[in-house]
Structure 1
Amino acid sequence: MTVHDLWSGLSKGEIAERRQAGRDRWQRRWRDGVGRGAPQRKQSYKEHLKAQAYLDDANQMQNPKAQRIRRESLTVNTLLDRHLAAKADRAPKTVEADMHHAQGVRDQFGDRSVSTIDTTEIEIWSQRRDLARSSRKKQLEMLRAAIKRGVRDGLVESDPSDGIVVSLGHQEFPHWSSAELMAVIASAASERERALLSVLGLMGLRAGEARSLVVGDLVDGQLRVKNSGGDSDTTKTRASRRVLPVPAVVLPLLEQQAGARPRSAWMFESPRLPGHAVGKRYLSDAVTRAVSRANQSRSEPISRINVHGLRHTFAAIALSEAHSDLLSVSRAMGHARPSVTLDRYGHLAPAGLAPLMAQIDRIAAGTQN
C-alpha cells in the first residue's frame, strides 16, 4: 500500500483553491492480491478523513510500513481537530479562545505534515515580532498540546516543539494597596456597590463570577462560585468552580444583599432592570464613583483602575501583604493551574528564605514548650 499527496508541489494559492472547492487531497493505492498482475485499487480522502483511514489500515494490516506512512502523512490540522474535539466540553468562551489560537497555528503549519516540521522552524515562528508575546505563547501552547496528544496516541513519533518557550517578561498589573482598596470600598455609593467591590477586591472573583452570583450561593458563611457569566452555566475552567470562606468584613454585606429573597434571585440585582443581574457597565461605573468619592478627602489621589484590577489587587494584597502561599491564592482565584498564578504574580510573593526559616523556628519553639 502507498499513500500519495495529490496536492504535492502546488503553490499556496492552488492549494487554497482546491480546499475551497472541497477536492480530495490524499489517495491510497493498493493491489487486490499478490504480484504485479493483481488489479490496482485507489481511494481518495478529504483531509479530515485521512488520519482515521491510515489508522484503520495500520490496525487491520499490522503493517509497519502502513504505520510509518500514517505518521509521515499526518498534518497539523488533523492534530488540532482531534485536540479541540477532546476539549469541546469546556466553557464557551474558553472554546472560542482555543479556536482563535488554533487558527494562528493553522495559518502557519495547518497543511504541513508534522514529520516535516523541525524545532528550529517552530522556534523562529514563536519569536516573530508581528504578534504580541501573550498571543504567540498561546499559539505555541496550542501547537504543543495538539502534538503531545498525537504522541500519546501513537500518531506522532516525537514533539518538535519540546523545550521552546515564549517568555512574557515581567508584567506589572495595576492594583491598589489594602489601604487604598478599603478607602474605595468605604466610599462606595451604595450598599450594593460596597458589597460588589468587596467581593471583587477582598475575595478575588472575576467580574462575571460576581455578577452571576445568586442568593443561594451564600451558605453558612461560604460563597459558591459556579458561573462565569459568559453566557453559560459554568465557570471559565473546572478549577474556577470553588467554595470560598467569606471574610468577616464581607459577610454582613452579602447577608444584607441576600436578605429574605428567594435562593434563585440574583445576589446583585440591577437597580434599573428588576429580575436581572447588574451589567458590566454597572461595575465599571461603581468603581469610578467610589474612586471619585474617596479622592475628595485625600491629598494623594487614588489612581483609577479597571474592574479586573480589583482581582489583581486581591492577588497583590494576599501575596505581598498577607504573605499567603501561591497555592492558596491560586485556589482562591480559581486559576486552572498554580503555574498561572506564579507567572502573573510570583514577583509579589515573599522573597528569600528568611520568612520560611523564621516560621520553622516558631513551630519548633512551640513544640518544645
Structure 2
Amino acid sequence: MASTQKRPDGRWRARYRDAAGKEHARHFSRKIDAQRWLDEVTASVVTGRYVDPKAGKITFAQWFEQWAAAQVWATGTKLKAEQALAAATFRDSPIRSILPSQVQAWVKGLSARLAPATVKVYYNIVSSAFRAAVTDKVIAENPCVGAKLPRERRREAAMTIPTPEQLGKALKAAPDWFAPFISVCAFAGLRLGEAAGLQLGDVDFLRRTISVSRQIQGSTKAEAEVVPPKHGSERVVFVAEELIQDLAQHVQAVGVFGKEQWLFGYGGAYFNRNSAADRWKQVREASGIGTFTLHDLRHFYASGLIADGCDVVTVQRALGHAAPSITLNTYSHLWPTAEDKTRTAGSRLIAAVLGDSADSVRTAGTSAQ
C-alpha cells in the first residue's frame, strides 16, 4: 500500500508499507518527486531489488562481522578474513553509502604495498561479504562488481624452482636432523605445514607411502595448531625407496617426540611456519643457493613428476590439489607444448616408416647444404 498526502506545511508525504508491514515515509517539496520515489520503490519490489532503507545504515564492519560469524571457515581462511576487514578503508562507513569508486581506490592502495595475489584474496573476501548483503536485501548492489585488480605475474615468470644441483647443496649443508624435513618437501611434494604435521604412524615403511592427514597452521609457537589438511589435500603419497630409507635412518638416529610421535620439530615442539622457515633460511645461506622457499621444493617435486611423463591427474593426486584445473593453472607451463609433441610424434612416424634409412636421409640432407 502506497500513498501521497499534502501536509499543512505544503510538503508532500509519501509512504508505503513493505512486505513485513513496516511503514516507510519521506517528505518532498513537490508531489511529482514524491510519486517518483514511490514508483521507484514499487519497481524495486516488482524486480526483487527492494531493500529496507534502514538496513543499510549499519557499517560495513558490523555487517562483515555478522556475516563472518555464520561462515564455516578453516583457521587460515578466518585469519585472512580478519586481515581483509582490517585493511578495508571503508569498514566504518554505512554499507549502503560505499561506492564502486571507493572500492577501486581501496584496491589501488593495497596494490601499492601488497602482492597481487594477496590483494585478490582480500578483494574476494570483501566482495563475498557485499554479495551476501545483496542476497539479504541489506543493499541493492555489490560495489565490488567491475573493480580492476592488479595483474599477477605469469606463473612461469613468478615460479622459482631449484635445480637438482642446488637442492643437493642444500641437503649437504643441512643438519642431519633437518635434512629429512627438506626431503619430504622436495621428494614427496608436501607443503610446509603438512611436513611439520607428520607423525611416525603416517609413514608406511613397507608399502613406501606417506599419509597426509593433518597440517600445522600458525606462524609462531603460540599460534601453531594441528588442523586437517587443506580442502581436498588429504592423500597418500607413493614415495621412492630412498626417501623411506632416509626417514628410517632419521627415526633411528634422531628419534621422534611426544605421545603423538612427531617426526620433525625444534626445541621439543613441532615446527610452525616461522621456525621451519628460519631453519631453512640458515640452510640456504650456508649452501649459497639463493632465496628459494620451502614451497619452491614442492614445485621441484611437481616439475620432476611432469618431466618424467606423469599426467595431470597423477600430479594432482600426488600434490593434493582439490581439482585437476588447479594443477593445470599452476604448472601448465611445465608440460611439453603441442609443438614439442608434434615434432616427437613426427620423428617416430618417420622412424617407423623408414627405419635406419631415416637417419641416412637426415645425414644426406645435412651434407648437401
TM-score tier (shorter): 0.5 to 0.7
1:227 positional shift: 2.6
Q: Which residue of 2 aligns with 1:90?
A: 74
Please point out which of 264, 270, 288 is paired with 1:268. 264
1:347 positional shift: 6.6
Q: Which residue of 2 aligns with 1:100?
A: 83
Unaligned runs of 5+ in 1: 3-28, 35-39, 42-62, 296-300, 365-369
> SS at the partner of 2:216?
coil
Q: Match for 2:208: what amino acid?
A: G
Q: Match for 2:50: what amino acid?
A: R
Change (3 A) 1:288 1:138: same
> SS at the partner of 2:123?
helix
Matched, 1:225 2:212: yes
Change (3 A) 1:162 1:355: farther
Change (3 A) 1:335 1:104: farther
In 2, the alpha carbon distance for the partners of 1:154 and 1:322 equals 54
Matched, 1:196 2:181: yes
Contact 1:217–1:223 (8 Å) recurs in 2: yes
Change (3 A) 1:310 1:352: closer
In 2, the alpha carbon distance for the partners of 1:82 and 1:355 equals 54
Change (3 A) 1:282 1:161: closer
Deviates more, 1:126-135 or 1:350-359: 350-359
Please point out which of 125, 128, 140 is paired with 1:145. 128
Task: Provide the TM-score with structure 1 as the length reference.
Answer: 0.61
CA deviations on 1:295-350 (whole Å, 9 max, x unpaired) are 5xxxxx6335343443343345445x44655665455444566666566x447423
Matched, 1:313 2:306: no
Q: Which residue of 2 aligns with 1:37?
A: none
Q: Which residue of 2 aligns with 1:169?
A: 153
Change (3 A) 1:355 1:158: farther
> SS at the partner of 1:244?
strand
1:356 positional shift: 5.5
Q: Match for 2:52: what amino acid?
A: R
1:99 positional shift: 1.0
What is the aligned-residue RMSD (CA, Å)? Answer: 4.6
> SS at the partner of 1:243?
strand
Larger Rg: 2
> SS at the partner of 1:224?
strand
> SS at the partner of 2:50?
helix
Q: Which residue of 2 aligns with 1:240?
A: 233
CA deviations on 1:249-288 (whole Å, 9 max, x unpaired) are 3122223334697983112255x64xx4356546643664
In 2, the alpha carbon distance for the partners of 1:134 and 1:149 equals 23
Matched, 1:113 2:95: yes
CA deviations on 1:172-230 (whole Å, 9 max, x unpaired) are 2443113332443355442x433211101122222232122110111332222233212
Please point out which of 255, 279, 285 is paired with 2:279. 285
In 2, the alpha carbon distance for the partners of 1:257 and 1:232 equals 24
Please point out which of 128, 131, 139 is paired with 2:113. 131
Change (3 A) 1:351 1:143: farther
Aligned length: 297
1:141 positional shift: 0.8
In 2, the alpha carbon distance for the partners of 1:324 and 1:289 equals 30
> SS at the partner of 1:126?
helix
Q: Which residue of 2 aligns with 1:256?
A: 249
Task: Provide the TM-score with structure 2 as the length reference.
Answer: 0.61
Q: Match for 1:221: what amino acid?
A: R
Q: Match for 1:224: what amino acid?
A: S
Q: Match for 2:212: what amino acid?
A: V
Q: Which residue of 2 aligns with 1:7?
A: none
Identical residues among aligned pairs (%): 17
Change (3 A) 1:30 1:236: same
